[in-house]
Chains A and B, each alone.
Chain A
Amino acid sequence: MSAYWHCFSGIVTREWLRFVLQRTRLLSALVRPLLWLLVFAAGFRAALGIAIIAPYDTYIPYEVYIVPGLACMILLFNGMQGSLSMVYDREMGSMRVLLTSPLPRAFLLASKLLATSLISLLQVYAFLAIAWLYGIQPPTMGLLMALPALLLVALLLSALGLLLSNAIRQLENFAGVMNFVIFPMFFLSSALYPLWKMLEASPWLYWLCAVNPFTHGVELVRFSLYEQFNPLAMAVCVGLTLLFALLAVWTFNPQHAALRKAG
C-alpha cells in the first residue's frame, strides 16, 4: 500500500515543482478570470442587477454573483488543458514515463488527475484572494467549505476533459477545445447569469443550461462559498465525476489513437 502512497505523492510533488518553476503559469491562469471580474463585470454591473436568489440573502452586485463562476472557469480551462496534454503527450514525453510505472494504469491516471486538480485549487484561491482585496468577501468559513466543492469540480472537469480527448479525434488542439467545449460549457451555465434570467430569454437555452454539468459545479461552489449545501448539485457532481473518471480511464488507450491514425 505504501508504494501507492509514494507514487501518488511523487506525482503531486512533480506537479507542484512544475507549477512553482513556471511562474508565468499562475499569472496566465489569473489574467482571464480577473479580466472578467474587473472589466466585464464592472461594465455589466449597471445593466444586470441580481435579485435575491439562493444562496444570497440580499441583493448583490454583479461582481459578487460572477466570482464562483470565474473560480470554476479556472478549473474548466486547467482541466481541459491538462487532460488534452495527457492524451497527446502519451506517445512521447512525460506520459510514457508515467506509464512505465509498475502500478496499475487506472491508479496512475487517477493520481495524475487528482494532482493537477490540487494545483488548480492553488490558482483558484489566488484568484479568490485578489477578489477579496477587490471587495468581494464571502464568509471565511465559506472559503473553507468551498475547498472540497472546488476539488470535486476540478476532478469532474479533468475527467470530462480526459474522456472527451480520448473519444473525439478532432479535439487535437486547444483551439478546438475552446470553441467546442469550454465556451459552450461556460456560456450555457449559471456562471455569468442566473438561470431564471435564461428562462426569460428562451426555455430551450434554459434547459441546456440546466443539464450542463458545469452549471451544477458552479452552483455547488456558489452555495458552499456562502456556507450552504446544494444536494442536487452535489449528487450530480459526484455521480458524473465517477462516471466520467471510469469512462476516461477505460478509454485511455494509446493504441486506439495509433489505430485511428492508421485509419
Chain B
Amino acid sequence: MNALEVIDLSFAYGAREALKPMTFNLPAGRFAALLGPNGAGKSTLIALLTRLYDLQRGDIRVGGHSLQESPRPALRQLGVVFQQSTLDLDLSIEQNLRYHLALHGFSRRHGSARLDAELARQHLTERRHERVRDLNGGHRRRVEIARALLHEPRLLLLDEPSVGLDPASRLALGLHIRQLCSEHGISVLWTTHLLDEVQPSDDLLIVHQGRLVASGQADAVSLEHGGTLGSAFNRLTASGVQP
C-alpha cells in the first residue's frame, strides 16, 4: 500500500496559483526527496499535507485515509518535523515529548513505553531531563524526530530538516532517516533545495513554479534529463520550463 497518495492536488492564493494539479504516490518504506528551488510550492504542499491549509482541489491520502474525508485516521499516520523548531525551549526533552503524546490521546502510562522506545532510538535516554534550550541544533532535530515518531506513523514528513545544521550533523541525520526507512518500513518525504541531500536510490520529486516537473528514482531522473542530478535539476527548473 502507498503511504502517501497525492491526487490531482492544486492550490491557489486568491488568483495566484501556487500548486498546479499534481499527482504522485509514495510507496511504503521508501525515502522520497521533494526537491525544488525557493518559492517552488514546497511550503504550500507541506501546509496542505499537515492540515494547516484546507484542500481546495484534489485529495491527499495518508495510509489510505483521505485527509479531507477522514482526517483523524490520516493524521494518526503522519509524523511531522517542521522546518523551524517547534519545541518548547524551556521544557525538558521528556516534557516536550509527553505533550505530543497527550495531543495524540495517549495516557501517561500508555505513552511511557513509546517515550522510552523513541528516546532510546535517538540515543537521548540519558538526556531526557535536559532543557531543550541547552541542546545543540543536531540534538534538537533528534528530539523533533523522536517526537514525530512517538505515535508510530507510517509516513514521516521532514520539511527542510537540515537547515541550520553543520555538515557532519546533516550527514548523520540523512543516514539516520534512511535507516528508519530500511529497517522499520517508515516512508519518508524529505523536502530540500540542496542537491547533495539526494542519493541515487532515493525516490525524487522535483517541483518548480508550482508544477511537478519530474518524478521517479533519482538516478533514473538524472539520466533522463541531463546525466547528473545537478544538470537535470538545472534543466528542469530553468524559468518558464514546460514539462
Chain A residues in the interface with B (C-beta under 8 A): 2-4, 6-7, 9-11, 13-14, 17-18, 21-22, 90-94, 96-104, 108, 253-255, 258-259, 261-263
Contact = CB atoms under 8 A, between A and B. Distances in A.
A94 to B, nearest CB: 6
B102 A102 contact: no
Interface stretch (B22-30, B104-112, B118-126, B219-227): B104-112
Interface string B194-232: 000000000000000000000000000000000000000
A259 B91 CA distance: 34
B231 to A, nearest CB: 34
A22 B88 CA distance: 12
A2 B50 contact: no
B54 A259 contact: no
A14 B14 contact: no
Contacts of B78: 100
A4 B76 CA distance: 14
Chain B CB count within 10 A is highest, among A22, A93, A100, for A100
A93 B86 contact: yes
Nearest to B92: A17
B2 interface: no
B105 A3 contact: yes
Given A17-B95, A18-B91, A100-B51, A10 B84 contact: no
Most buried by A among B75, B86, B106: B86
Contact of A255 (B54, B76, B86): B54
B138 interface: no
Quick one: which of A93, A94, A96, A99 has the most chain B CB within 10 A?
A96
B52 A99 contact: yes
A252 to B, nearest CB: 12
A218 B158 CA distance: 48
B122 to A, nearest CB: 18
The 5 closest A-B pairs by CB, nearest first: A10-B102, A3-B105, A262-B13, A101-B103, A102-B75
Given A100-B51, A100-B80, A255-B54, A14 B91 contact: yes
Contacts of A91: 52
Contacts, number: 100
A258 B13 CA distance: 7
Nearest to B83: A92
A18 B80 CA distance: 23
A2 B105 CA distance: 7
Contact of B50 (A4, A18, A21, A99): A99
A82 to B, nearest CB: 15
Contact of B86 (A10, A92, A253): A92
A5 to B, nearest CB: 9
A259 B78 CA distance: 25
Contacts of B107: 2, 6
B145 to A, nearest CB: 14
Given A6-B106, A102-B75, A263-B14, A21 B53 contact: no
A4 B13 contact: no
Given A2-B107, A18-B90, A13 B102 contact: yes
Interface in B12-35: 13-14, 16
Contacts of B102: 6-7, 9-11, 13
B73 A22 contact: no
Given A3-B104, A18-B90, 4 more contacts: A7-B104, A14-B95, A261-B13, A262-B13
Contact of A97 (B13, B47, B103, B105): B103
